[in-house]
Amino acid sequence: FDSFDQNTYYSIEFLYTAADTYVTFYPHIASSQLVLSDSTPYVITDFYGKVMKQGVGRDILLLGLKPGKYFLNIQNRKEQFIKR
């Protein structure tokens, strides 16, 4: 490891736009549906990253999903929930 050099380094600049509202959801252990606090695009993936369901809305019906752990991808973040 070299000692700290006096050079200046810059990263690539990028544009980031934050969402107006932070979308939440409930319940975290669900049997039939998830309810989002606001309508937003979503993707549900399984533990291995396979897309199981996607769309836009507030109410997400979980019909067809087997019981287990899943991830809800909303607003560029991944939230875990359990389907019973």
The larger pLDDT score, comparing residue 26 to residue 10, is at: 26
| Rounded Cα gap, residues 56 and 38, in angstroms | 10
pLDDT, one tens digit per residue, over 47-82 is 999 999 999 999 999 999 999 999 999 999 999 999
What integer pLDDT is reported at residue 17 of this predicted model?
64
Return the pLDDT at 5: 75
Reading the block at residue 73, the tokens are 């991808």
12-49: per-residue pLDDT in tens? Answer: 887 766 656 899 999 999 999 999 999 999 999 999 99
Q: Which of 20, 78, 13 is nearest to 49 (CA)?
A: 78
Instruction: Check pLDDT > 90 for residue 9.
Output: no
